[in-house]
Chain A
Amino acid sequence: MRILLLLLIGFLFAKADESFLMQTHIRMLPKIMALDTRLASKAPSSKLILAIVYDTNKKANAQLIANEMNTIHNGKVSNFSFTALPVSVDELMTRKEITFVYSIQHTTAPSIKKIAAWGIANTVPTFSYDVNDMEFGILGSIAIERSTIIYINKNTLKEGKYRFNDTLFQIARLVE
């Protein structure tokens, strides 16, 4: 019983932690997108598209996150208007107007690799829910440790020729 209770408490804490991290991602990712200095030239249309990428059966989660993001930011970040859209990995490969990619939780490693490769090829910043995804070439992620930390993949940053506002690098932690 005790073991069950501990497991329940651990589960509840884990859920709460995930929720808090997700909320942090939802709040911060559009703003990090706005720090891309090539953003204005990348978006021919008036609205930027922040793609919430999912694997085949996670569209509902992606939709939920996109809705939450659009609600919180009210479609605007900094001087830009944007829309968060759920986009599947395959769909992402075909679309060109996307300006920022966020890979949701539990995306598979092959998908992550595809997303990272696509991001590097199109110089579109790719962030992932899981910090470990950065091993597959994802540009960055946000983790909550003693404080909120933005991780940037140094190699991907170079490879994808990304350009961000310099201040980002003052608070971000660059990793290899």
Chain B
Amino acid sequence: MNRFKNARLSTKLFTALTLVTFIIFTTVTLVTFFIVRDLTINSQKEKAALLIDTVNPAISLALFLGIHDFGDKLSAITKRPEVISLKISDAKRDVILDYHHYDHSTSHETIQISENLMEPSSLKVIGTITLVYSGEEFTKAMNRFYTLYGWISVSVFAILWLMMVWINHLLLPIKLIAEKVRNFKLGKKIIFDIPYSQREFTQIIHSFEIMQESVIQYAQEIESINKNLEIKISEQTREAIRHLYYDNLTSLPNRIKLQEDLQLNDINTVAILNIDDFKEINDFFGIDTGDWLLSQIAHWLSEMKLKPYRMGGDEFAFRMKEGSSHNEFCHDIEMLLSLLSEKFFMIAEETVHVRATVGIAIDSDKPLIHADVALNKARSAKLPYSVYDQSEGIEQQYQANIAMSAHIRQALVEHRIICQYQPIVSCENGKIAKYETLVRIQNEDGSLIAPYDFLPIAQKTKLYHHITQEVVYQACHLFASRDEQFSINLSISDMLDNRTVTTIENILRQTGTSNRIIFEILESEGIENFDEAASFIARMKAFGVKFAIDDFGTGYSNFENILKLNVDILKIDGSLIKSIDENPRHRIVVEAIVDFAHRIGIDTVAEFVSSEEILQNVTDLGITYAQGFHTGKPQYLEHKPM
């Protein structure tokens, strides 16, 4: 079917024509055949019947009268060559006459006609006459018919073949046009020269010529558009490359460019320069001014011929020049820092002095990471620059911190954050008055990780609040079944975290331990974030919570602020307590703290009480409670049945 669909038009036309002709011709032939055959055979039958009718009355009467001599009466038909045989039977089917004409030489179809012989007066059947008539005439007529239709068939199919040739010839221009259109190429105009021009073909050619003009015009337009597009794409590509590899603010090559440059050649000595306290400049002058300053610094660095890169924020990087030594590079950096320290930048009609810290990685396989590590080291050590030293293991430390971060996260999920409780005893009677809650991570093997190993990392990774919430939950639920007071350390970040504060409030409401809980705040944190700490303390005091200043005596806070914070307990820093015997200055400080506490009516706790002598001393000084390994080690506590 698909083959016919895709066939040539001439084939389709010819096939359709042949099919239609065949159907019509076959129908006409069959109809004619049947008509001719029936007419011929009926004609023959009628002839035979006529013959019988001619003799029937006489034969009937003769039979009726018993005259069995039919010779004269039948001679009229028996002498006819078409009559092959004639048989007359009486009513009893006894054959009275059986005539056969033996002369027929050819065998043809025969026609047999029988008629009843009737008694003339009563019309009773008195016999039968049967005539066998030669079909020779019928056969001849049919043969003439076949011959005639054979010739007609030949003529029809000859006409069809001629029509096919004619159709092919008529459609030839279409083939020529298609061939020319198929070979059409831009820039080479088609000229349609066909052998003859019927109106349809001239119309097609005219349409093709119009289309050709349009195509050429469109092609020219497209070519023009393409050229413009190519220019634009080229510009966009350049712009994209610029965006990809260059910093928008300073127009310096960026971190990606530096990484590619590092991959292109073997120089792996890199320095990263960080502007010190740039955040303060941003905060003070605004981001726009900060950006303007950065662009000035970038411009200045470019003038230093060190080919700077901008790494992002307030960080720039330099790559060692080809042919330069490590010492020369370090020397150049030193010179740069020196010049920068003397350089003044103008911001809003004010001069700004900019300092910077540099981290250098020499011949490193991870130059950017190592330079960053060295930068952090320099900033921590307050050095103008630092060179990465693999032997210091700083990178390993970072890796350990990352591992610890994952460990903390896992411990939180698996509920391996646990609490131990260190007793705080009354100096007056030596009895346990309260406990301080100390957090640990329990390893899978049961061993414990001390808080100073994971809390600093937890603070950096924002897991600290989750630990605080877990500790408050465990301690409050434990002491809900006990009657001692208990303290928990809180950082200023916990107090500033709304979710942590809400969780603490909910736990206090659920456990009803708010009048026995004491939150310990580091002296340094409490004073540095005074307003936030005061607000939190006031909010919690409404629940009946008490507050203690932890490690008091190490900071530089004044007593007025302590008064304003409205705390209930001062925990004297262990460094003052543990050397109270040997260091008179420490003793004086402790005495002053105790005196201050007595005067404002709050309790004191001595930390790091590690011996009986120290206990005796703190008792003598009038400190209310003592805490340390001597008075009680951190321990697990159990729920007491209510």
- A: which residues have CB within 8 A of B? 27-28, 31-32, 34-35, 37, 39, 78-79, 146-148, 150, 165-168, 170-171
Contacts and interface: CB of A to CB of B under 8 A. Distances in A.
Contacts of B122: 34, 78-79
Given A79-B121, A165-B120, A168-B120, A148 B69 contact: yes
Given A28-B66, A32-B65, A147-B71, A171 B58 contact: yes
Identify the interface centre among A39, A79, A166, A167: most chain B CB within 10 Å of its CB: A167
B64 A31 contact: yes
Contacts of B62: 171
Given A170-B61, A171-B61, A165 B69 contact: no
A31 B58 CA distance: 14
10 nearest A-B residue pairs (beta carbon): A147-B69, A167-B57, A167-B61, A170-B58, A165-B120, A79-B122, A78-B122, A78-B121, A148-B67, A34-B121
7 contacts: A31-B66, A34-B122, A35-B120, A147-B69, A165-B61, A171-B58, A171-B73
Contact of A166 (B57, B64, B65, B67): B57
Given A34-B121, A147-B71, A147-B72, 13 more contacts: A27-B65, A31-B64, A31-B66, A32-B65, A78-B122, A148-B65, A150-B65, A165-B121, A167-B57, A168-B61, A168-B120, A170-B73, A171-B73
B60 interface: yes
A27 B61 contact: no
Contacts of B65: 27-28, 31-32, 148, 150, 171
A146 B120 CA distance: 24
B494 interface: no
Interface in B58-117: 58, 60-62, 64-67, 69, 71-73
B474 to A, nearest CB: 141
A151 to B, nearest CB: 14
Nearest to B70: A147
Contacts of B72: 147
Interface of B: 57-58, 60-62, 64-67, 69, 71-73, 119-122, 124
A28 B64 CA distance: 9
Contacts of A78: 119, 121-122, 124
Contacts of A168: 61, 120
A139 to B, nearest CB: 16
Given A79-B121, A79-B122, A167 B60 contact: yes
Contacts of B57: 166-167, 170
A118 B66 CA distance: 29
Contacts of B66: 27-28, 31
A166 B72 CA distance: 18
Contacts of A34: 121-122
Nearest to A168: B61
Contacts of A171: 58, 61-62, 65, 67, 73
A171 B72 CA distance: 9
Contacts of B119: 78
B121 A35 contact: yes
A150 B66 CA distance: 12
B127 to A, nearest CB: 14
Nearest to B56: A167
B604 to A, nearest CB: 166
A166 B49 CA distance: 20
B121 A147 contact: no
A78 B124 CA distance: 8
Nearest to A170: B58
Contact of B58 (A27, A148, A167): A167
A39 B73 CA distance: 27
A107 B67 CA distance: 26
A57 B57 CA distance: 41
Contacts of A28: 65-67
